[in-house]
Amino acid sequence: MKLSIIIVSWNVEEDLVNCLKSVEKNKPCEEFEIIVVDNASTDGSVDTIKSSFPDVKIIANSGNLGFSAANNRAIKIAKGKYIFLLNPDTIVYQSSLDTLIAYLDDHADVGACGPKFLDADGKAHSSVGYAPTFRALLYGRTFLRSLGIFRRSHKKLTDRKFDYDKSGDAEQLSGAALMVRRSVMEEIGSMDENFFMYYEDVDLCLRIRKAGFKMVYVPESIITHIGGKSTEQVSADRRIMLYRSMFIFFRKHRGRFSTGLFGLIFKPGVIIDHILNILSGIVAYLIFTLSFDRRRRLKSLNKIKSSASFLGKYSWEFLFKV
């Protein structure tokens, strides 16, 4: 078998059905299989897939195992030469799968490849990224941003331009739609289950490159990616998950000592940033209330709630356990 398409789903029945319909409509010419791994959805996803897509293999987990562990359960039983990790909030276009398959067939030095992403409005958006750095994160996610400290490091990372109209080597490709050689995964290992959510694709891509294989962006393959549907359901917990995975990634690839030193600055910096968000949000809320600007007033209120929720729920865990 040439291709195994693996989709991890959690309470996104409508998106999952649309995704499977698009694969069914634009299926590859080569022999393939689809494996859906359901992380204990309560929206009827499993029953819907069983009745509407009888050829789809289903792994129904009794609990939410997270993205990495769920994918690994499917990878263990997958029969394809190539493994295609696909998010349920995606739409596959005609020849998209065949194009990626053909690219791996023709380029033995490429370990994984990914398509061009379109958003819901049909506009191209980022699917190629770069490995995070300590300095860029200190600027981007702490109060140091207000002081301009490490601005150059952050700008150096974010200003790296990638031509999304041309095929090219990539440092990191999005795990929302990533085709990987099975032989490469057998060599480097499957997805790291220490990552419940976030950074698992960053880790996988880095390990693929460290093993000496290329990562390539293939714009001739096009997929719509809506993004964020599953994580929106746990938005209050999303930030702590992100930080937890970030520290796991850095400890693994940069070492515990360096990551520990980074944490001594980063963690208090994040807490201070949230406190400043609350204070500035209160001032803005009062100003926009007096000026009868309802839209900005609500935006300020959401800013206050978001930071207050994180501090109230996770500040202790973030500072001493993450």
- Averaged pLDDT in 10-residue chunks for the chain of 322 residues: 97 96 96 97 95 97 96 98 97 97 98 95 86 94 94 80 89 95 97 96 97 97 79 64 96 98 97 96 95 93 93 93 94
In the prediction, which pLDDT does 101 show?
A: 98
**To which residue do tokens 């996770």 refer?**
314
Residue 59 belongs to what H/E stretch? strand 57-60
Distance separating alpha carbons of residues 27 and 94, to the nearest angstrom: 8
Distance separating alpha carbons of residues 54 and 109, to the nearest angstrom: 36
In the prediction, which pLDDT does 233 show?
A: 43
Domain ranges of the chain: 3-127+164-232, 255-320
Distance separating alpha carbons of residues 15 and 12, to the nearest angstrom: 5
- Give me the helix-helix angle, 235-254 and 294-320, nearest 10°: 40
Distance separating alpha carbons of residues 290 and 29, to the nearest angstrom: 62
In the prediction, which pLDDT does 158 show?
A: 73
In the prediction, which pLDDT does 154 show?
A: 85
Contact 245, 196 (CB under 8 A): yes
Longest CA–CA span in the chain (Å) reads 66
In the prediction, which pLDDT does 127 show?
A: 87
Contact 267, 320 (CB under 8 A): no
- Which amino acid would we find at residue 260? G
In the prediction, which pLDDT does 170 show?
A: 93
pTM to 2 decimal places: 0.92
Distance separating alpha carbons of residues 180 and 67, to the nearest angstrom: 16
CATH superfamily, domain at 3-127+164-232: Spore Coat Polysaccharide Biosynthesis Protein SpsA; Chain A (3.90.550.10)
Taking the CA atoms of 184, 186, 187 and 192 in sequence, report the sign of the dihedral they define: positive
